[in-house]
Structure 1
Amino acid sequence: MNSVGRMIGHFGFCVLDPAGMGGSYKRRERFNNAVFVSPKRDFLYTKCEKCANVTLRRSLQNLVADKTLPESMSDIDRWHAPLLQPSDLKLTRIKSINDIPFKFAVVRNPYSRLLSFYLGAKAENYRKVIGTSEKPAFGEFVDLVCDQAVEEMNPHWRVQYHNIFCDVIKYDHFLRFENLEEELAAIMSRYGKKEAEIRSVHKNQSNAGSKLASYYTPEIAQKVRYKYAIDFDYFGYSTELPV
């Protein structure tokens, strides 16, 4: 499948909705760019921002490639990368994507995921995604996030259930960010003939999970529990703040 054909397929999927996904063009585009399918159609991975998605993408692209990819390889241009998009599958009904035998994603405790973005983002990030001229206090940031509708939310803090399309994809497994390397190594060993290589990316690592007590008050935690209630419940995270 050549890159031009993949590009045309991408725009056809987003504009014409041949699989009957429904919703807006923006939602279909986001879906097509978020979902990664192996060339053999034996596994599916959906990225979730602030859940090691760069590590996952680079590791899995290298896993399925015919030859080892360079460390600097970037898959921003999806139609040149080994992993496929939903539009490459020629779906005629969106639920057929669940015929792929193994579907997984990485999820994270909502408390630490939200704090991770806050700690790692620079002032220009806030100007770009929220419109504030300076980095707000954490409580103010949480208020801004919790006032947004799901579709308005930036993917770096969008409710994970919606960010990875749990209303469309019936997942077989959720890897926990908190135990990522062990779980990812086990999955990669199932599909790779070569030794599994996890291409870990630790840029701007915030260690948010160890700093929760310094940023969360009971009032802030209550707002996050309410906004991300479906994440706590669906992915089995306790609403108690980790100590």
Structure 2
Amino acid sequence: MMAPLRIFNHWRFCTFDPTGMGGGYKRRERFNNAVFISPKRDFLFTKNEKCANVTARISLQHLVAGRQLPENFKDIDRWFAPLLQPSDLRLPRIDDINDIPFKFAVVRNPYSRLLSFFLNAKRENFASKLGLDPGMNFADFIAQVTEQTPEEMNRHWKIQYYNIFCDVIRYDHFIRFENFEEDFRNVMSRFGAKTEIHSVHKGQSNAGTKIAANYTTEIARKVREKFAIDFESFGYSTELPV
């Protein structure tokens, strides 16, 4: 499919809502950019920030490419990349996306996902959006984000149920970030002989090992209550990891 046609399809999907997805332009644009579909239409992957998102999608782009991609390949402009967007399918209605036989995403324990973002992100880049000082502590950050609605949340800390559009996509499998490499490699092997994982990890904080040092009972309560749908939907215990 030629890039100009893909660009047009993207614009049409986001602007006119031909599938009846509903919501505004920004929601449809986010959906169209977050969902990655194989050219054979045999799998669908949805990115989920702070859950090995870049590593997963770049590995999948290489898996389906059918040609050698540059080692430094990036898929910022989706219409030049092998994996398709929902708009490329020209679906008559959005629910038809669930006809794709295998739909998956990577999820993560909400406690460590939030802490990972806080420890890794440059505070000056998001502090003003939250009305906080760059010198904020983790308690300040959690107090602010747990007051937001899902629509107000940045995708890097947004409730995962909504971040991967569980209200639209009926998933067949969730890979747990905590067991990412083994499970992701198994999924890749279903769709091709190449199972090379193109890791792009940068400045990893190992947040899962720093839970006790950063969480208080009150912080944990706020996360547990605000992200309750994530704990329930993805089978994570609400007890703090040891």
TM-score after normalising by structure 2: 0.98
Give yes or no for the alignment of 1:228 onto 2:227.
yes
2-structure distance, mates of 1:236, 1:124: 34
Corresponding pairs, count: 242
SS of the residue aligned with 2:63? Answer: helix
Q: Which amino acid aligns with 1:30?
A: R
Q: Which amino acid aligns with 1:222?
A: R
Give yes or no for the alignment of 1:76 onto 2:76.
yes
Structure 1 residue 202: deviation in Å? 1.3
SS of the residue aligned with 2:190? Answer: helix
1:199 aligned partner: 198
Give yes or no for the alignment of 1:208 onto 2:199.
no
Q: Would you say the 8 A contact 1:126–1:133 is kept in 2?
A: no
1-structure distance, mates of 2:233, 2:227: 10
Give yes or no for the alignment of 1:119 onto 2:119.
yes
Structure 1 residue 129: deviation in Å? 3.8
1:241 aligned partner: 240
SS of the residue aligned with 1:106? Answer: strand
SS of the residue aligned with 2:195? Answer: coil
SS of the residue aligned with 1:14? Answer: helix
Deviates more, 1:110-119 or 1:124-133: 124-133
Give yes or no for the alignment of 1:91 onto 2:91.
yes
SS of the residue aligned with 1:157? Answer: coil
For residues 115 and 92 of structure 1, do their structure 2 counterparts lie closer, same or farther at Cα, with a shift above 3 Å needed? same
2-structure distance, mates of 1:11, 1:132: 35
SS of the residue aligned with 1:150? Answer: coil
Q: Which amino acid aligns with 1:186?
A: N
1-structure distance, mates of 2:53, 2:224: 23
For residues 141 and 87 of structure 1, do their structure 2 counterparts lie closer, same or farther at Cα, with a shift above 3 Å needed? same
| 1:83-134 deviation digits (Å, cap 9, x = unpaired) | 0000000011000000000000000000000000000011222246434341
Unaligned runs of 5+ in 2: none
Q: Which amino acid aligns with 2:65?
A: A
SS of the residue aligned with 1:10? Answer: helix
SS of the residue aligned with 2:105? Answer: strand
Q: Would you say the 8 A contact 1:21–1:93 is kept in 2?
A: yes
SS of the residue aligned with 1:91? Answer: coil
2-structure distance, mates of 1:85, 1:238: 33
SS of the residue aligned with 1:36? Answer: strand
SS of the residue aligned with 1:174? Answer: strand
Q: Which amino acid aligns with 1:103?
A: K
2-structure distance, mates of 1:117, 1:135: 15
For residues 121 and 221 of structure 1, do their structure 2 counterparts lie closer, same or farther at Cα, with a shift above 3 Å needed? same
Q: Which amino acid aligns with 1:137?
A: N
Structure 1 residue 135: deviation in Å? 3.5
2:187 aligned partner: 187
For residues 135 and 12 of structure 1, do their structure 2 counterparts lie closer, same or farther at Cα, with a shift above 3 Å needed? farther
Q: Which amino acid aligns with 2:72?
A: S
SS of the residue aligned with 2:23? Answer: coil
SS of the residue aligned with 1:66? Answer: coil
